[in-house]
Structures are given as C-alpha cells and as structure tokens.
C-alpha cells in the first residue's frame, strides 16, 4: 500500500469525521450558553451523540450510557440534533 493510500488527505475524511484533536489541555466548557441534558429514560445507548460530538465531549459510562463532559462541551447542540429519539435537551447553562 502506498503512503498516499495509508495517509489520505482531508478530502477523504468521511462526512462527520474529525480532522483535529479536541482540546484536552484547556477546559473549553465555559464557552457554552446551553448545555445538553440526557433523558436516560429515552436513551437507547445508540451512541450517535458520542460519535457526532465534534469535541469528543460525550463520554461512555461503564453501563454503556453516554455522559456529557461539561468541562469540554461547547454547547453546539449537534448531539441533541442527531439523537434519533430526542433524548437530549439543550438547556440554559
């Protein structure tokens, strides 16, 4: 396999892929105005929210449920938008 095949350029990154590493050194969570709150009675553990969060701010708990890390969540609302069962509500921080 050629180097080009092993290391595709940014145009080959799949839709929804993350081209950069989210911040881990700086807590960026205080940027947000709204925060996601998960209704665990509705959540099906599909983890779409974990996959789509551009900041990697939704962790997976030991029981398989997602959990937002408010230290890094910027409140963009993508997780709430992508949740297929509307288990995530954006509330004022």
Q: Which residues bind ligand SF4 (CB under 6 A)?
A: 36, 38, 43-49, 53, 55, 57-58, 66, 68, 73-79, 83, 85, 87-88
Count CB-CB contacts under 10 A for residue 66.
24
CB of residue 62 to ligand SF4, shortest distance in Å: 15
CB of residue 36 to ligand SF4, shortest distance in Å: 5
59 is written with which tokens?
A: 């962790």
Cβ proximity to ligand SF4: between 13 and 60 the closer is 60
Which residue is it, tokens 């890094």?
A: 72
**Burial tier of 68 (Cβ tally within 10 Å: 0-12, 13-18, 19+):** buried
CB of residue 60 to ligand SF4, shortest distance in Å: 9
Cβ proximity to ligand SF4: between 27 and 45 the closer is 45
Which residue is it, tokens 């807590």?
A: 27
Cβ proximity to ligand SF4: between 2 and 77 the closer is 77
Q: How far apart are CA 85 and CA 73, in angstroms?
A: 21
């Amino acid at each position: 396999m050629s180097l080009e095949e092993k290391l595709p350029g940014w145009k080959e990154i799949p839709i929804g892929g993350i081209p950069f590493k989210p911040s881990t050194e700086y807590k960026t969570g205080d940027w947000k105005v709204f925060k996601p709150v998960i209704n665990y009675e509705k959540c099906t553990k599909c983890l779409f929210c974990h996959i789509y969060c551009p900041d990697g701010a939704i962790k997976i708990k030991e029981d398989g449920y997602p959990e937002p890390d408010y230290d890094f969540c910027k409140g963009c609302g993508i997780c709430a938008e992508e949740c297929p069962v509307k288990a995530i509500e954006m509330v004022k921080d």
